[in-house]
Chains A and B, each alone.
Chain A
Amino acid sequence: DTGVSQDPRHKITKRGQNVTFRCDPISEHNRLYWYRQTLGQGPEFLTYFQNEAQLEKSRLLSDRFSAERPKGSFSTLEIQRTEQGDSAMYLCASSPTSGRGNEQFFGPGTRLTVL
């Protein structure tokens, strides 16, 4: 399977703990996106990477959130001091910069539950 993968698929944590999620995009894709999806809503954009550079960050990405994409390959999203309001599905997507560059391919998501 050469699609976008995310790990873990599910994470349960206690309020105040730190969590880290990983996304492995499709190998030739330069663009990588993180979204957050809460129950009954569409995904909301969090941040965008082109290669290793983080070029856009949404206002939703508070100071407790940090994302990296070292070497322009996989990406990590860390949430520090988790709150119950952070409970959501975190989706990663990737796309190429040429060809159908505006089509985003989504991973299965990481479902976070903060108790």
Chain B
Amino acid sequence: AQTVTQSQPEMSVQEAETVTLSCTYDTSESNYYLFWYKQPPSRQMILVIRQEAYKQQNATENRFSVNFQKAAKSFSLKISDSQLGDTAMYFCAFMKQRGGADGLTFGKGTHLIIQP
């Protein structure tokens, strides 16, 4: 079974700062996907960024980038130039490359607060 660990229950930074959220995972699979999802207060979960394990290049999406270390089983999210709208719960998630049948395995989440 897979496990995903997010060791930071809550983080708070000032607007415009850069923040890094940590995620480690454990799996015996060699092919898989990793995701960061954002869940704003009382709003639905949306995908922030995804990474295929077979790709060595770290994924980037505008202000969001990841540091994927496959050997260390680490998948951190960096948010640059943070904005008030980035305030949300952030979940790291894992999925086997098996046609999606197993669903996502989520961590417990990090509550990110962007202070004005």
Contact = CB atoms under 8 A, between A and B. Distances in A.
Interface of A: 3-4, 31, 33, 35, 40-46, 48, 50, 55-56, 58, 91, 95, 97, 101-109
Contacts of A97: 99-100
Contact of B100 (A3, A41, A101, A109): A101
A95 B35 CA distance: 14
B95 A56 contact: no
Contacts of B100: 31, 48, 95, 97, 101-102, 104
B49 to A, nearest CB: 11
Interface size class of B (residues with CB under 8 A): 20 to 34
Interface in B83-116: 91, 93, 95, 97, 99-109
Contacts, number: 65
B33 interface: yes
A103 B37 CA distance: 10
Given A102-B95, A108-B43, A48 B102 contact: yes
B101 A103 contact: no
A45 B103 contact: yes
B64 to A, nearest CB: 15
Given A102-B95, A103-B47, A48 B103 contact: yes
Nearest to B92: A42
Interface in B11-59: 33, 35, 37, 43-47, 50
